[in-house]
Amino acid sequence: MVIQAISTALPAVKLIKPQVFNDARGFLFESFNAFDFARLVDSHAVFVQENHSSSVKSVLRGLHYQIEHAQGKLVRVVRGKVFDVAVDIRQGSPTFGQWVGVYLSAACRQQLWVPPGFAHGFLTLSDRAEFLYKTTDYWYPKFERSILWNDPELRIEWPLHGSPILAGKDMHGKRLSEAELYE
């Protein structure tokens, strides 16, 4: 087996651990294998876009989602460390409004699968972090929405020391109870 896919507190969200081959020269691992992903994580996911972001310490991006063309995201960190969060926003789901957070870093080489129907965000913990994510649908700015990162109903336990650095859209996100959700 090349990867392990471990269910989180939200069973649809999976932590993916690759098999890493280390030797005196460095390391090698498969960061993506379509066969293993389909077999162990999601047999319907097809990735159409990959994004790469860079953030300085204390940048908080999210909680983002699209009301049409919902995106599944396979996320990983290639430099630094982040706290990554997925929130179930699937109406009628038994885990609606619940969240899960995991630490991802270049050192651990783990990935997180955030399926369609979840809002997603992360907080940069290192001086700089580079974040890669594959998506199952394209980014449509007119359908993008943001849930307030500190919505008191969600009670996300961000490992913050001080105030985060936010984009305007994240400062003005809506509470989950007021948000326009994917149907």
Clarify whether 69 is annotated catalytic.
no
User: Does 64 qualify as catalytic in the annotation?
Assistant: yes
Instruction: Transcribe 8-40 into DSSP letters.
Output: -SSTTSEEEEE--EEETTEEE--S--HHHHHHH
Q: How far is CA 62 from CA 9, 29, 83, 108, 144, in A?
A: 20, 29, 12, 23, 11
Query: Amino acid letter at 173?
Result: G
The two tokens of residue 166 are: 């936010």
Active-site hit among 65, 133, 138, 172: 133
Say if CB 82 and CB 125 are below 8 A apart: yes
Q: Rounded to an integer, what is the distance from CA 15 to the centroid of its chain?
A: 10
Q: Which of 44, 64, 138, 172 is catalytic?
A: 64
**What amino acid positions are annotated as catalytic residues?**
64, 133
